[in-house]
Amino acid sequence: MTAVAVDSDFVYRMKEDGSAKQRIVADPVIYLISSSPDRKWVVVWKATNDPINTQEVVAYPIAGGEPRLICKGCNATGPANLGAPTVSWSPDQKYFYLNSSISVMSGYKTYRIPLACGAAFPPLPSGGFQSERDLLSLPGASVAEYSGIFPGPDPAVNAFNRTTTHRNLYRIQLPR
């Protein structure tokens, strides 16, 4: 069995004892977002040289091959800021989840897309998802009821953060 680790801004694969270290993402990354349940892909958030879209979310095949652009300029979330990962899968890899603000107009949402049997990704546009319309045009795609979902064993079972604020509405005079 192998483990995946981020070291010095790169992603490596290694044996559990730390030996046989091999870089699997050639480009430096901001952080590792997730890995697919079948352990064939890692998804990273990385910087770009594009002055407009300075970041992108990219999937890299662990065994080598061409990376796949998921979205450019989308808001990435995950372990670094204790949010739900930008990209995740249901444990059985039947659903793909994208937790993001895909465009300024769409706001932060969770998109749920059913996957074909054995697929790790829905059909990805060559330039990655650029709008909510790109996502919702996929067969069976939907916006989840809550944003920031951590997928469970089926679409009806998942976890999410819900924040509420309760403030003291009374004015209390303090002694001078």
Residue 58 tokens, joined? 């990219």
Report the pLDDT value the prediction gives residue 99, as an integer from 0 to 100.
85
Report the pLDDT value the prediction gives residue 1, as an integer from 0 to 100.
46
If you search the block for the tokens 């069995």, which residue do you land on? 1
Nearest 5°: the CA angle 3, 94, 67 is 50
Report the pLDDT value the prediction gives residue 37, as an integer from 0 to 100.
93
Report the pLDDT value the prediction gives residue 109, as an integer from 0 to 100.
83
Buried b (16+ CB within 10 A) or exposed e, 152-163: eeebeebeeeee
Q: 67, 8, 6, 69: which is closest to 40 by C-alpha?
A: 67
Residue 27 tokens, joined? 């480009």
Detail the DSSP E strand segments found in 17-67: 22-25, 31-35, 41-47, 55-61
Q: 89 vs 49, 52, 95, 155, 170, CA distance in Å? A: 29, 29, 6, 11, 46
This prediction has a pTM of: 0.80
Cα(30)–Cα(8) distance, rounded to whole angstroms?
10
Q: What is the pLDDT along the chain (176 residues), one digit of tens a residue?
A: 455 655 568 898 888 898 898 888 888 998 888 899 999 999 998 888 888 778 889 999 998 899 999 998 777 755 545 567 888 999 999 999 998 776 555 567 888 999 999 999 999 998 899 888 888 999 999 988 777 888 888 878 888 877 778 776 677 788 88
Cα(28)–Cα(21) distance, rounded to whole angstroms?
16
